Structures are given as structure tokens and as C-alpha cells.
Amino acid sequence: KAGVTQTPRYLIKTRGQQVTLSCSPISGHRSVSWYQQTPGQGLQFLFEYFSETQRNKGNFPGRFSGRQFSNSRSEMNVSTLELGDSALYLCASKVQGTTDTQYFGPGTRLTVL
Amino acid sequence: AQSVTQLDSQVPVFEEAPVELRCNYSSSVSVYLFWYVQYPNQGLQLLLKYLSGSTLVKGINGFEAEFNKSQTSFHLRKPSVHISDTAEYFCAVSEVGNQGGKLIFGQGTELSVKP
């Protein structure tokens, strides 16, 4: 079974631009979560989608948004990029429930100049 | 709200020595507990998880962890480490009953295994 895939793997943007990251979950997984990883703040939960609906949300500004499609693929969007948005963005998928194991993708490394 | 504290940011150890990575958590509700490993330039991989039952949990690659409710700890152990265990290790919790099970992570412990 193929793992979680994220595209692109690396991205360079400038301040003020917007960016869209994509995540394809493992086949059969209906829940997709997004996390931001930075050296200073560590791993922080952004949001989780299940059956095309946002089920959980972390404490990030409204510039961070996401969506999920009917095939469970998910995208996250960051508008008006700031230098502090430079991070590794990780996507994780699981079947559906709290006790199901989350499988992480390799991440998208975003650099904001 | 939950929080996770990993007591050591870096742990250097010699090959074939035992290792313990410490994790304490704080929560007003019951939680599930997890340990993940991250190798350089890769995503996170689940080592083990505690959901209920026996407090000693065995995971992959010879790792195990013990849940101690009274001390709110979930320390990770391995009796004999290998060079290939060099990686960053994350302890995480999720709230029991939360449908989505969002993970709250500790800051990570960098394990460095030396020959």
C-alpha cells in the first residue's frame, strides 16, 4: 500500500505570496491532519479534515486554511506569507477514529524569503 | 488543555548501551499516549502507543514504554541501542473522546548513538 504523499517536497516563496500544499492519504483513510514543524515551536497541529469537513482546528491565524475533497485528498493554503511561516508542513492520515494510527507523509519544506 | 514535556532535548549514548527518553504530560482529561520517531528529512513514524490495558507497551525496533498514571509519565526505553537509532523522538498525547484525536507533541529528544 502506498504511503502518504505530499507535493511539492520543497517550495520557496516570498513574503506576501500565497501557497497551496497537497496531501494524498493512504487508500481507505478518511481523516487527514496537518501539522507545522519549526525549530522554535516544534510540532503544532493546524487542522484535521474528515469526510470533507473540518473536525478539529489548532490555534493558527485565518491565513491558514484547508480543504478536503471527496477522494480524501487534502490541500492547505497559506495566504499573505510571512517569514515565520517557513517550516516543514506535515500531513498525516488515518482511517477515521481517535485510536487509529496516524501515518505521516515526508512533509513539504516551505521557505519564505 | 494538554501539554507534553520531554525532559531531555539531547541524549548522547554509546552503541549497545541502554537508553531512556523521558516524557511527562499534563491533562485534565484522560489521554492516549504515543511515541514517534523522525529520521532526517523524513516524516514521523509511530513507535508505539498506549490506549488502555497493560501499562507496559512494546513497540517496533525493540522499544518499549511504560505508562505511569500517578506520575503522569510515559518514558521510552531500549535495552541496547544501535547506530541506526540515531534520530529525533517525539512523545505525544491525544484526548480520549476527541473524535479527531489531534496530537499534542513534546519538543522532541535528539538521540545520538555513538560507536
Share of chain B above pLDDT 70, in %: 100
Distances (CA, A) of A46 to A26, A71, A81: 20, 21, 16
Q: Is B76 on the interface with A (CB under 8 A)?
A: no
CB proximity B99 to A under 8 Å: yes
**Chain B contact set for A43 (CB, 8 A):** 90, 92, 103, 105, 108
What is the average pLDDT score of chain B? 94
CB contact under 8 A, B45 and A33: no
pLDDT band at A30 (very low <50, low <70, confident <90, very high): very high
Closest among B1, B3, B72, B81 to B37, alpha carbons compared: B81
> What whole-number distance in Å separates Cα of residue A40 and Cα of residue A29?
31
- Chain B CB contacts of A97 under 8 Å are 99, 101
pLDDT digits (tens, 9 = 90+) for A31-82: 999 999 999 999 999 999 999 999 999 999 999 999 999 999 999 999 999 9
| pLDDT band, very low/low/confident/very high, at B115 (cuts 50, 70, 90) | very high
Q: Nearest by CB to A99, which of B32, B41, B92?
A: B32
pLDDT above 80 (res B18)? yes
- The model's confidence at residue B1, banded by pLDDT at 50, 70 and 90, is confident
pLDDT tens digits, one per residue of A97-111 = 878 889 999 999 999
Any A CB within 8 A of B103 CB: yes
Secondary structure (DSSP) of B29-71: S-EEEEEEEE-TTS-EEEEEEE-SS-SEEE-GGG-EEEEETTT
Section B72-96 average pLDDT:
96
How confident is residue B41, by pLDDT bands cut at 50, 70 and 90? Answer: confident
Q: Look at residue A85 and give its three-state secondary structure.
A: helix
B22: helix, strand or coil: coil
Give B42 to chain A, closest Cα distance, Å.
5
Give the chain B residue nearest A5 (alpha carbons).
B43
> Could you give the count of Cα atoms lying within 13 Å of A50 in the half-sphere of its Cβ?
14
What would the DSSP string read from start to end of A43-83? EEEEEEEETTEEEEE-S--TTEEEEE-TTS-EEEEE-S--G
**How far apart are the C-alpha atoms of A64 and B36, rounded to whole Å?**
25
Closest residue, chain B, to A58 (C-alpha): B102
Assess whether pLDDT exceeds 80 at residue B99. Answer: no
